[in-house]
Amino acid sequence: MKKFSVKTIVAIGIGAALFFVLGRFVSIPSPVPNTTINVQYGLLAFMSVIYGPLAGALMGLIGHALIDFSFGWGIWWSWVIASAVYGLLMGIAGTTRKLHHEIGKDSILPFNICQVISHIFSWGVVAPILDIVIYQEPMEKLFAQGLFAGISNAVTTAIVGTLLCLAYAAAKPKAGSLKQDKE
């Protein structure tokens, strides 16, 4: 069993807390029933790429469960699990050569391709199928919700996630940048 570093455990806590705050207080109402436009998935994608698949899955699972719990309707496990799957997939994407420790302008296209595919799978496959299996929900409604959630989450992730990646790349010290100039 892989042990987490203290840094990763703290990142999971902070990531889940930020996911909760963004999902609870910054979500935008949508025309599709019981679905909102969310900005927290950009943060989740970025954090998952940095800290890995298991950390990403836990951030999505804990953060989404807290959001559902705070609204008082109960935890909607199918969508909570879909958020965890999304974090897991983006964490796996972060282990690829192009994204692993090379976040910057060159990694924006691969990052966005991975996030779109991960959203399509999480919201177009995982969430609707689990809704059918767990809650016996009507199929037409589920795929409309999943399609809208996948598209809107992909768009907000492209904006928020890309900005976070660019900010991270700009803030990361460059090799040799801390060496003293010799006169």
* Residue linked to tokens 């889940």: 16
**Residue type at position 22:** L
Helix, strand, coil percentages (3-state) for the chain, rounded to 5, are: 75, 0, 25
CB atoms within 10 A of CB 163: 12
CA–CA distance, 155 with 164 (Å, rounded to integer): 14
Q: What is the pLDDT of residue 143?
A: 83
Q: Which residues are bridge partners to 137 per DSSP?
A: none
CA–CA distance, 100 with 33 (Å, rounded to integer): 38
6-171, what's its fold? Arp2/3 complex 21 kDa subunit ARPC3 (1.10.1760)
Give the pTM. 0.90
Q: What is the pLDDT of residue 169?
A: 84
Give the domain ranges of the chain: 6-171
CB atoms within 10 A of CB 38: 25
Instruction: For the chain, 183 residues long, give each residue's pLDDT as a single digit of tens.
Output: 567 899 999 999 999 999 999 999 999 999 888 889 999 999 999 999 999 999 999 999 999 999 999 998 899 999 999 999 999 999 999 888 666 556 777 889 999 999 999 999 999 999 999 999 999 988 878 888 889 999 999 999 999 999 998 898 888 766 665 565 554
20, 67 contact by CB (below 8 A): yes
What is each CA distance from 145 to 102, 124, 133, 171, in whole angstroms? 34, 9, 16, 37
CB atoms within 10 A of CB 70: 12
Secondary structure (DSSP) of 64-97: HHHHHHHHTS---HHHHHHHHHHHHHHHHHHTST
Q: Give the burial string for 97-135 (b: 16+ CB within 10 Å, else e).
A: eebeeebeeebbeebbebbbebbbbbbbebbbebbeeee
CA–CA distance, 41 with 35 (Å, rounded to integer): 14
